Amino acid sequence: MTGNKAVAYKEPGKVEVIDVDYPTFELKDGPGVNPANVGRAVNHGVILKTVATNICGSDQHMVRGRTTAPPDLVLGHEITGEVVEVGRDVEFIKVGDICSVPFNIACGRCRNCKERKTGICLNVNPDRPGSAYGYVDMGGWVGGQANYVLVPYADWNLLKFPDRDQALEKMLDLTMLSDIFPTGFHGAVTAGVGVGSTVYVAGAGPVGLAAATSAHLLGAAVVIVGDMNADRLAQAKSFGCETVDLSKGGPAEQIEQILGVPEVDCGVDAVGFEARGHGSNASEAPATVLNSLMEITSAGGALGIPGLYVTGDPGGIDEAAKKGALSLSLGTGWAKSLSFTTGQCPVMKYNRGLMMAILHDKVHIAKNVNAKAIALEDAPKGYAEFDAGAATKYVLNPNGYLS
């Protein structure tokens, strides 16, 4: 039997690389697996040998203890891999194909999938619409920060790269197709970004930088990124963004210094539920980003909200926040006729087009998010550095495909 190691959540602030079972074409019981999914046959799936699998800010929420994730949950929803086994019912994907895996698992059969709403598939999670690999309350599909991982509904879910050598050469860019690039793009699209737009992106982490990259790709005139982390703001500047240092106060006045007016056409929330207030000594204030975006987005504009919000947060600052209830100034949004789009990005809506942009050198997302490949055994260090604010997108290299 082939060995398999994986990155697992142990307790708040701690991950470990552990030995786990090699995948089979059946969903087994284990940490975080929904009981109704135990024993589920996956003859429509494939087993991937992982080429690249990334540490995500959404993983970091769990590792900080800000969700109900159980110990030994195998992490990892940003997966790219080489097919090494195919299930009985797989027709088009073949052994040897190198493929990107959308982080949201979708059946391809339900009403939502047929309407391209693959982030809220109705058939893969018994508890609620929508699922993902290696994530709490998402059905229990085992994560891909591992040597090998099972991918269900393979003919539907997998995006096959057209040329193996080209894919491996551009892997640090292509690995971003599993989540952050489509997610950032979705944030920009749903915020209404187009040719000539002025855009404010809250958050200079990898998703925020991906949203800023996407805004440029969509033709924005000015892209402004706000954060408190000087290194991450410098990363945004490195590919042509204007920046706002939120440790110096709210964004409106600094936006006015850039644009001449204290508002933008389009706003993107790439922060989520662990948001802090503004100013040098700001504490956690989870509604800050959404309320400030409503204030600075022009009337009739839109907010794209790819930042993660949860229904259960043990570390929330008050009882309301622990249930995902925030003090939003909805009246501001109503008065200004603002539109809001939230939820998981439907990755399959965008990933092929973004793949083509990468393969034809129209965008260099790995450079913009400062991607860095590290060994699987270095994952705990990568998590710690990312949590400390490193302006880096850590890409795990479990099987040595990456230089």
- Over residues 273-326, the pLDDT tens digits come to 889 899 988 888 889 999 999 999 999 999 999 999 988 888 888 898 888 888
What is the rounded CA–CA span in Å between residue 17 and residue 176?
A: 23
- Pinpoint the alpha helices (H) of 34-160: 57-63, 111-114, 154-157
CB 365 within 8 A of CB 213: yes
**Does residue 143 surpass a pLDDT of 70?**
yes
pLDDT band at 1 (very low <50, low <70, confident <90, very high): low
**Does residue 182 surpass a pLDDT of 80?**
yes
Q: What is the largest CA-CA distance in the chain?
A: 64
CB 218 within 8 A of CB 245: no
- pLDDT, one tens digit per residue, over 79-97 is 999 999 999 999 999 999 9
pLDDT band at 403 (very low <50, low <70, confident <90, very high): confident
- Start-end ranges of CATH 3.40.50.720 in the chain? 184-341
- pLDDT, one tens digit per residue, over 6-19 is 999 999 999 999 99
Q: What pLDDT score does 310 carry?
A: 86
Q: What pLDDT score does 312 carry?
A: 84
What is the rounded CA–CA span in Å between residue 400 and residue 91?
A: 29
CB 388 within 8 A of CB 380: no
Mean pLDDT of 333-338: 97
CATH (residue range 184-341): 3.40.50.720
Question: Which residues are within 8 A (CB) of 353 and not within 5 positions of it... i.e. 6 or more apart?
Answer: none
CB 96 within 8 A of CB 83: yes
Mean pLDDT of 52-77: 94
Q: What is the mean pLDDT of the chain?
A: 96
- Start-end ranges of CATH 3.90.180.10 in the chain? 5-179+346-396
Mean pLDDT of 106-129: 96
What is the rounded CA–CA span in Å between residue 102 and residue 151?
A: 10
What is the rounded CA–CA span in Å between residue 136 and residue 269?
A: 22
What is the rounded CA–CA span in Å between residue 56 and residue 285?
A: 22
Mean pLDDT of 175-181: 98
Alpha carbon dihedral 71, 72, 78, 82, in 10-degree steps, equals -170
Mean pLDDT of 218-241: 98
What is the rounded CA–CA span in Å between residue 132 and residue 141?
A: 7
Q: What pLDDT score does 286 carry?
A: 87
Global confidence as pTM: 0.96
**Does residue 135 surpass a pLDDT of 80?**
yes
**Does residue 155 surpass a pLDDT of 60?**
yes
Mean pLDDT of 33-52: 95
Q: Which of 216-230, 252-266, 317-331, 345-359 has the lowest mean pLDDT?
A: 317-331
Mean pLDDT of 137-162: 96
Percent of the chain with pLDDT over 90: 89
Instruction: Give the β-pairing of 73-74 and 5-11.
Output: antiparallel
CATH (residue range 5-179+346-396): 3.90.180.10
φ/ψ of residue 274, rounded to 5: -95, 25
Closest CA to 11 of 347, 391, 355, 383: 383
Percent of the chain with pLDDT over 70: 100
**Does residue 153 surpass a pLDDT of 70?**
yes
State how far the alpha carbon of 368 is from the alpha carbons of 31, 102, 289, 372, in Å: 35, 21, 23, 11
